[in-house]
Amino acid sequence: MSSNFVGLLIILFTLTASVNVIMAVRDEPVLLAWLNQIFLGTILIAIVSYLVVKLSLGKSSQKKGAAKEGV
Amino acid sequence: MHEGMLLLAVIAVVVRFLVNVMPKVPVVGWFFSNESLAKAARVSETVAFVAALGGTIGIVASAVTGTILSTPEGIAGSTIVSNKVMVSIFALVFWIDFLVVRFNVGEEEIWSNRVLQFFYPLLAVIGFGCVTVAGSLGGTLAGKESVIDFAFSILSIHKNDPWTLAPITELSRMVVDSPLQYLVNIQSMLQIVVVINIVIVVLVLIYISIGNRPKSTS
């Protein structure tokens, strides 16, 4: 994993944790569920996108490497 | 303003996608020369990038003005407003994702890759879909009818209900409905979630520190 992506995940998880603490103190389960949904959705989009890009680039670099070896 | 820019970005990226795919169709050669297709590719790529950048800045600007004009109680109190905020945030995430992919991967790699040439326009289309839905909810809030209201009625989506993302909701329900709830109260469960988050952050920090350690030259 690149450190930029890991940094993004840290920020998102920390925000989720902070929101959970605040909402637990305020005792607002509906708002908590809504905010958690936003944070988890964002994390999900980021992870899926990262994996698609990483896997597809990995495949293309493997092909390029194989082509170079062939030459 | 930002919706117009994002529409332009979507049109441009779709044109760029078609230009990428069209040379593989034999009939296209009868109507378009290779030079005209190359020119269209160059122009549409630039337009898509600039319009997406402007539109993303526009979404952030509209979020800032919306936050200034409304109160936290106003956002939490109305389900339509909550849905609109949630969909707008997802739209922003998709468009930032679009720009990040463009910045990190680069134009040539995107359009020469078999998967990314579909994934990149897909991000734009989904992002624009979210913007359109947010705009429709905004129209309902203003007391007007939306052009895409028929789509909501066909899909049996009610704007007044709180929208949930099925997999995430199921995941939360699995945690909340688990036998754990009889052992601990909801406050304790939230504390457990916080502790798990902190553990994840610590593990990730350890992983980074190991990954960034300079390699020995011996």
Total length of chain A: 71
Instruction: Count how many domains chain A has.
Output: 1
Q: Chain B residues with CB inside 8 Å of A32's CB?
A: 190
B193 contacts A37? CB cut-off 8 A: no
Most confident of B26-30, B75-79, B93-97, B143-147: B93-97
Q: Which domain holds residue A30?
A: 3-70
Query: How do residues A41-68 score in pLDDT, each as one tens digit?
Result: 888 888 888 888 888 888 666 666 666 6
Q: How far is it, in rounded angstroms, from Cα B123 to Cα B95?
A: 7
Domain boundaries, chain B: 2-154, 166-211
Query: How do residues A17-41 score in pLDDT, each as one tens digit?
Result: 666 666 666 666 677 777 777 877 8
Give the pLDDT confidence score for residue B184 in this predicted structure. Answer: 54
Q: Return the closest-CA partner of residue B107 out of B48, B56, B25, B35.
A: B48
Å from A4 to nearest chain B CA? 10
A10 contacts B205? CB cut-off 8 A: yes
- Burial-class residue B120 by CB neighbours within 10 Å (0-12, 13-18, 19+): buried
Query: B183 pLDDT exceeds 60?
Result: no
Higher pLDDT, B132 or A21: B132
B168 contacts A37? CB cut-off 8 A: yes
Q: Chain B residues with CB inside 8 Å of A23's CB?
A: 190
Query: B1 pLDDT exceeds 50?
Result: yes
| pLDDT tier, B51 (very low <50, low <70, confident <90, very high otherwise) | very high
B105 contacts A10? CB cut-off 8 A: no
Q: How far is it, in rounded angstroms, from Cα B102 to Cα B79?
A: 35
A47, containing H or E segment: helix A29-70
Range with the poorest average pLDDT among B69-73, B101-105, B152-156, B165-169: B165-169
Picking from B97, B113, B193, the nearest residue to A60 by CB comes out as B113
Q: Return the closest-CA partner of residue B128 out of B7, B1, B4, B2.
A: B7
Picking from B85, B86, B94, the nearest residue to A45 by CB comes out as B94
Tell me what ipTM this predicted complex has: 0.73
Average pLDDT over chain B, rounded to an integer: 77
Q: Return the closest-CA partner of residue B93 out of B161, B165, B157.
A: B165
| pLDDT tier, B168 (very low <50, low <70, confident <90, very high otherwise) | low
Span B17-46, mean pLDDT? 76
Picking from A28, A38, A44, the nearest residue to B86 by CB comes out as A38
pTM for this entry: 0.74
Q: How far is it, in rounded angstroms, from Cα B213 to Cα A62?
A: 26
